[in-house]
A and B are shown apart, each in its own frame.
Chain A
């Protein structure tokens, strides 16, 4: 089946620094990748949608200058949390959608998530 990886799985950073999270589709080409954030005991919230080679589309209330998304290739998208603050501490999950080998073009495949702790 289709596999999506995320790196790192867990990161601690100091307030004011930037952190980059990678999301890779390992065995299929992901034309679209999604980034979600999940706070404890809450459901996932979509942050942004990125299509390869295009600027990401951010959901209302998500600061695009703070959460930089780059979808440079069909297998890699990155989320950079700039000038991180403790309130950015959360669980970040990416998902990828693609057709062909991945099966239904409507199905999303999820990465394992990255836990970010900002101290």
Chain B
């Protein structure tokens, strides 16, 4: 059974720092992995999607990597800003059902 774990559960850093959020999954047989952002009381915003054949994806200050063999993904945020404060969720698509298996999220606070 696929399980997704995110570490740390919460993170607070000063503005301007580079930071890394971690996501691990137990079964390397995945179709893709996605990183999402969720602001309090709001829906989800998809940040990056990495297909199983890809190693990384970049969007602006965000870079997500995928190492299927070790069951790990990282989300790197460069030059963090207070507006980056949110909960970051990773999810894997394990099979053809396309259902997502979610991590519990990392709550990120960027202090001005």
The residues of A with any CB-CB pair to B shorter than 8 Å are 6, 32, 34, 42-44, 46, 49, 91, 93, 95, 97, 104-113, 115
- Residues from chain A with Cβ under 8 Å of B45 in the complex: 110
Shortest beta-carbon distance, A36 to chain B, in Å? 9
Binary A-proximity of B38-70 (CB < 8 A = 1, otherwise 0)? 000111111001010000000000000000000
Closest CB in chain A relative to B94 CB, distance in Å: 11
State whether B99 touches A107 (Cβ < 8 A).
no
Q: CB within 8 Å of A: which of B90-105? A: 93, 97-100, 102-105
A12 to chain B, nearest CB (A): 14
Distance in Å: Cβ of B70 to nearest Cβ of chain A: 22
C-alpha gap A6/B42 in the complex (Å): 12
Q: For residue B105, which residues in chain A have a CB less than 8 angstroms away from its CB? A: 43
Looking at B32, B44, B93, the one whose CB has the most chain A CB atoms below 10 A away is: B44
Q: Is the CB of A44 within 8 A of B43?
A: no
Q: Return the 7 tightest CB-CB contacts between A and B, nearest first.
A: A112-B43, A113-B43, A110-B44, A43-B104, A43-B102, A106-B31, A44-B102
The reply on B28 being an interface residue by CB < 8 A is: no
Main secondary structure of the interface of A (DSSP, over half): strand
The answer for the CA separation of A97 and B41 in the assembled complex, in Å, is 23
- Bound state CA distance, A93 and B99, in angstroms? 14
Task: Mark B19-46 against chain A: 1 for CB-CB distance below 8 A, else 0.
Answer: 0000000000001101010000111111
Residue of A nearest to B41 (CB): A115
A104 lies within 8 A of B89 (CB): no
Q: Are A34 and B49 in contact (CB under 8 A)?
A: no
Q: Contact at B46–A109, with CB atoms within 8 Å?
A: yes
Q: Known A43-B89, A104-B49; judge A110-B43 contact (CB<8 A).
A: yes
Measured CA separation A115–B105 after assembly (Å): 20
Residues of A within 8 Å of B93, CB to CB, are 106
- Establish whether residues B103 and A107, one from each chain, have CB atoms under 8 Å apart when the complex forms: no
Q: Which one of B31, B34, B97 contacts A49 once the chains associate, using CB atoms below 8 Å?
A: B97
